[in-house]
Every structure is written in C-alpha cells, then in structure tokens.
Amino acid sequence: PNRAAIQESTKPVLSLGKSKFEKLVRNPDELIDKTLFIKKLIDDSSQKVLLSAPKYFGKTTNLDMIKRFLEVEVDSNGKILDNAKRLNSKLFMKNNLKINKDKKFCEKYLGKYPVLFIDYGSLNNINSYSNMLQYFRDLQRETFLGHKYLLNVRNLWINNLNFTVFKKYFDLNENLSELEITNGFRFLLKVLNKHFKKNVVVLIDNYGSLLDNLIFS
C-alpha cells in the first residue's frame, strides 16, 4: 500500500464547529490547550470583555471552557457540591491542562462563581417582531431551566423576590409579556447574586447574530 496514503489516513479528523470543551479535552488530538486564556481574562481589570473573531475560530468553545472553569456546581436544592462530586473540577484537574500549573489561581477561581450563559445563536432567523418575542420567551425558559434548583431554595423567597413571577419563566404555558421578557435575565441575575452572595459571571455567545442577519441576508 501507498505509504503516503497510510500516513494521511492516520491524521486526526477535526470536527469543524465542535464546540463542547469537554469533548475536546477527552480527545487530545483535537485539543489546542487555551486554558491559560482563562487566567488572562480574569486578570484583566475590565468589567466587560468582547471576544471578536470570524466563524469557527473557537469563540463558543472558549466560552464553554470559561463557563466550565468558573461555574459553581450545586445539587437540586442549590447546595454547593463537595469537591469529590464536582465534574468540572475533575475535568480540569485530572487532565494535563496548562492552567493546572497555577495551583493558587485554580484554588481561588475553579468552581467558585455563579455563571449565566446566554446563547443568541438562533436570533439570525428572526423575521418579525412577534417571532422575536417568542424567541426571547423560549431563550429565557431554556436559560432559567439551567438554574431550576433556585425554585427549591426557600430562603430566597422570604423577602422582596417574587416566587410566583420567577416560576412563570419555567412554564411553557405562560405567555411572558414584553416587560417580563425585558426584565427576565436581570431578575435571574438578582436571584443568583442573592443565593450565592457573589457577583455573577455573564457569558453571551453569538451576541451579533441579529446584526449579522441584517447585514448579510
């Protein structure tokens, strides 16, 4: 057989657009270790950081990596998991990733913050105002479901925060009003901040989808 053909066939096949950080860590042939970017990002004094790059340059993967590193892991009642049960901690600490060399940094930030991840990836398919409202209703339900444990944290709802209103964001039968859509993520941030008593890290993916659609469609 042709030696060149054999060598060609043994090269790793890259999955273009594959965006889950964990899958890349499990497959070292596809992984370019950018974990030190997390430290660079946190060491930056800016409160807001914009990551701009062409499609397929790994923005979604990097955001997923940041989320997995920073996000505090909890049980169904909102209680922080013991170290032995934290999947994200195992993902970073049990693999040969560059950021592991900075032990103090990992101790300070790994799994220590509530994270709100919002993906506007389908916003470029909007063609009417009513479609846009429904899109945001669906997006908020999907995002809120990632923090469903908050419904079980009873002491959150004693003062000021409205449990009945919060529940509406999880209900498929609720037709959220424009005002509720406008206030939805702000409300979730407030609840997360109260529960964890820490600032919430907000990660927004595909933030320019609607603008891209207006320019290039």
DSSP 12-31: PPP-TT---HHHHHH-GGG-
Residue 114 has what pLDDT?
97
* Domain shared by 85 and 65, yes or no: yes
Looking at residue 77, its amino acid is N
The mean pLDDT of the chain is 84
**Which of 58, 80, 113 is the last residue in one of the domains?**
113
| Domains identified in the chain, total number | 2
* C-alpha torsion 17→22→26→31, nearest 10: 50
* Domain shared by 60 and 141, yes or no: no
Residue 17 has what pLDDT?
45
Query: What residue spans of the chain are helical by DSSP H?
Result: 3-9, 21-26, 36-43, 59-70, 87-93, 103-109, 129-145, 163-168, 178-196, 209-216
**Which of 113, 139, 156 is the last residue in one of the domains?**
113
Does residue 172 belong to any structural domain of this protein? yes
- Three-class DSSP category at 217: coil
Q: For residue 55, what pLDDT band results from cuts at 50, 70 and 90?
A: confident
What number of other Cβ atoms are within 10 A of residue 61's Cβ? Answer: 20
* Domain shared by 53 and 132, yes or no: no
Residue 215 has what pLDDT?
56
Domain range for 190 is 124-198+208-216
Q: For residue 212, what pLDDT band results from cuts at 50, 70 and 90?
A: low
* Domain shared by 142 and 179, yes or no: yes
Distance CA 141, CA 214 (A): 26
Residue 53 has what pLDDT?
73
Residue 210 has what pLDDT?
62
**Which of 113, 148, 170 is the last residue in one of the domains?**
113
* Domain shared by 139 and 81, yes or no: no
Residue 195, pLDDT > 90, answer: yes
Does residue 212 belong to any structural domain of this protein? yes
* Domain shared by 24 and 109, yes or no: yes
Residue 31, pLDDT > 70, answer: yes
CB 21 within 8 A of CB 64: yes
Residue 167, pLDDT > 60, answer: yes
Does residue 24 belong to any structural domain of this protein? yes
Does residue 2 belong to any structural domain of this protein? no
Residue entry with tokens 């965006």: 19
